[in-house]
Amino acid sequence: MGGRGKSGHLAVEVLARAGVRRFYTVPGESFLEVLDAAERRPDTSLVSTRHESGASFMAEADAKITGIPAVAMATRGVGASNLAIGVHTAMQDSTPMVVLLGQVETDYLGREAFQEVDLAAFYAPITKWATTVHRADRLPELVARAFRAATSGRPGPVMLALPADILGEEVEDRGSRLSEGRPRSAPDPEDVEDVARRLVAARRPVVIAGGGARHAREALVRFAEAYGAGVYAGFRRQDVFPNGHPLYLGHLTLAARPETLGPLEEADLVVVVGCRLGEVTTQTYSLPRGDQDVIQVDADPDEVGATVPVERGIVSDAGAALEAFTRRAPKAIERDWSAAHAAYLESSEVPAGRSEAGIDPAEVVGALRKVLPEDSILANDAGNFSVFLHRYWRHDHPRTQVAAANGAMGYGVPGAVGAKLAAPERNVVALCGDGGFLMTGQEIETAVRYGVGITVVVFRNGMHGTIAMHQARDIGRTAGSEIGPVDLAGFARSLGATGHTVTDPGDLEGALRDAVADEGVSLVDVVTDPDLISPTARLSELAAGG
Ligand SMILES: Cc1ncc(C[n+]2csc(CCOP(=O)(O)OP(=O)(O)O)c2C)c(N)n1
């Protein structure tokens, strides 16, 4: 702590001291000192991406794996606009992120100067805190505060706008010790007593676990076993609990199967842990129902009871609460969830290919299950192909799912790059539809340039499948959902990766095996049957009113 230097350098130093390792950006002339320091320091890396959306998605995915914020940076109004999608992802996914935006010089603020926009106002709804730093000598202190805000309570993104002229000013670091030490909240003994009593008395208690429980996965397993409670994973939080565990009940995803929802509907007690009960997880705010007893544990008091009335709300770190509840359990309570777990296992069994005309997306996931190590990280984009992935891939290892709960297209490739930089020892695969891939697939160039060896699998059905499905079902015809027949393997090769196109199901496993074995960046473009729009529906039948 302490020291003197250019404020832009000190900002990076404060973050590095707090544990930040990677700064993702498209460079701009408004934050030169920050770029310089992030690249120059031995303990931080500057990752320069092709598009700011790639930078923010990478930073988001990186922090999903490490739990430590990464920095996403961009220049003034133009860069901030492109960066925003990944910041919104961090907001909805409760992922810590520090956003640094270059801003026009303090002398010109408020004149609609070149590329100027009121960045604090622009970013306010998609961050926990957004402000403009007006004085160089306050920058270290405000960076420390930003880091703390991003990582405390319900984590999320924070944004500091940095007028270009303050970054080169020599200042004293006087306030950055604010970043040291983080309070960990815990339940009070009365709450623990009450929760234990309710869990013992309940007939069919279930747990809904969200991203806030990811760091407490083992404590969650012990808690569920102690009380014989079944466990659901919140939307795109499938790695929060081992899917092969006999107490696992399934994934609260888009259009979850009725069989999956049965135990939740019948539960007389629902324990919600580190989950904000968003629209998808709650099946459009229908579950848990108002007449079900709900206990909600969350690090943030504002989340407790926000979307569902709760019997008991507990403001606590998930791990601290789960450990306290488990210590208070009288003896291991056995409740039989075998039928529900068997139904989950059966539903995630990959079926025989349904297509005579091409490749069934389910077969792609089946082949990946054969060729990938179980602890591989899967980074997925948005689109109907992901329904197959979520259904047929089993997450039995911690931190194996990197998926945007805000459903942002374009997340897959940059998500995989950020995850691989955070966990270089793991296999990392990006899974995309052709629509999502064509939004950010150029980040393959970033991966190649930095030697980040990821595998990219594209489910190419020649359309925005999700939208075509909604249109066929609701309107009876499609509009604007076509995608041209792009040579994606050739595109990947032009960016320095290897690329391979698969049209025959018999070639799938071999092509994926080769791609995964490739130490560099490799892409497998799988031409899928566009009619197989979901694991249970055909597009032609939906359009015909089926
Ligand atoms: C950034 C963004 N724009 C638009 C959408 C709306 N949207 C959701 S899924 C989808 C289509 C995805 O198409 P593709 O990536 O080809 O996957 P598919 O559904 O065909 O499997 C669209 C346009 C979105 N979720 N995100």
Q: Determine how β-strand 129-132 pairs with β-strand 157-163.
A: parallel
Check pLDDT > 60 for residue 11. yes
Q: Is 223 in the pocket of ligand 1 (CB under 6 A)?
A: no
Helix (H) or strand (E) holding 157: strand 157-163
Q: Measured in angstroms, how far is the CA atom of residue 529 from the centroid of ligand 1?
A: 17
Q: How confident is the model at residue 357 (pLDDT cuts 50, 70, 90)?
A: confident
Chain segment 132-170, per-residue pLDDT in tens? 999 999 999 999 999 999 999 999 999 999 999 999 999
DSSP state of 538: B
Chain segment 316-325, per-residue pLDDT in tens? 999 999 999 9
pLDDT (0 to 100) of residue 175: 67
**8 Å CB contact between 239 and 246:** no
pLDDT (0 to 100) of residue 355: 85
Q: Measured in angstroms, how far is the CA atom of residue 303 from the centroid of ligand 1?
A: 29
Q: What is the position in ligand 1's atom list of the atom closest to the CA of 361?
A: 21
Question: What is the rounded CA–CA span in Å between residue 159 and residue 56?
Answer: 12
Q: What is the mean pLDDT of residues 402-428?
A: 98
Question: What is the rounded CA–CA span in Å between residue 225 and residue 406?
Answer: 31
User: Which residue has the least CA distance to atom 2 on ligand 1?
Assistant: 409
Q: What is the position in ligand 1's atom list of the atom closest to the CA of 459?
A: 21
User: Which residue has the least CA distance to atom 4 on ligand 1?
Assistant: 409
Q: How confident is the model at residue 430 (pLDDT cuts 50, 70, 90)?
A: very high
Q: What is the mean pLDDT of residues 43-67?
A: 98
pLDDT (0 to 100) of residue 178: 57
User: Which residue has the least CA distance to atom 3 on ligand 1?
Assistant: 409
pLDDT (0 to 100) of residue 180: 52
Give one DSSP letter per residue of 407-473, joined into a string.
--TT-HHHHHHHHHHH-TTS-EEEEEEHHHHHHHGGGHHHHHHHT---EEEEEE-SB-HHHHHHHHH
Chain segment 435-467, per-residue pLDDT in tens? 999 999 999 999 999 999 999 999 999 999 999
Q: Is 408 in the pocket of ligand 1 (CB under 6 A)?
A: yes
pLDDT (0 to 100) of residue 181: 58
Q: Measured in angstroms, how far is the CA atom of residue 89 from the centroid of ligand 1?
A: 15
Q: Is 407 in the pocket of ligand 1 (CB under 6 A)?
A: yes
Residue 418: CB atoms within 10 A of its CB come to 35
Q: What is the mean pLDDT of residues 16-34?
A: 97
Chain segment 304-352, per-residue pLDDT in tens? 999 999 999 999 999 999 999 999 999 889 999 999 999 999 999 999 9
Q: What are the backbone angles phi and psi of residue 300, rounded to the nearest 5°?
A: -115, 120
To the nearest whole percent, how much of the chain has pLDDT over 70? 98
Task: Mark out the alpha helices in 129-240 (DSSP H runs).
Answer: 139-151, 189-201, 217-227
The strands making up 312-315's β-sheet, listed across from edge to edge, are 248-251, 230-233, 205-209, 269-273, 293-298, 312-315
Q: What are the tokens at 108?
A: 């010109």
Chain segment 486-509, per-residue pLDDT in tens? 999 999 999 999 999 999 999 999
Q: Measured in angstroms, how far is the CA atom of residue 385 from the centroid of ligand 1?
A: 10
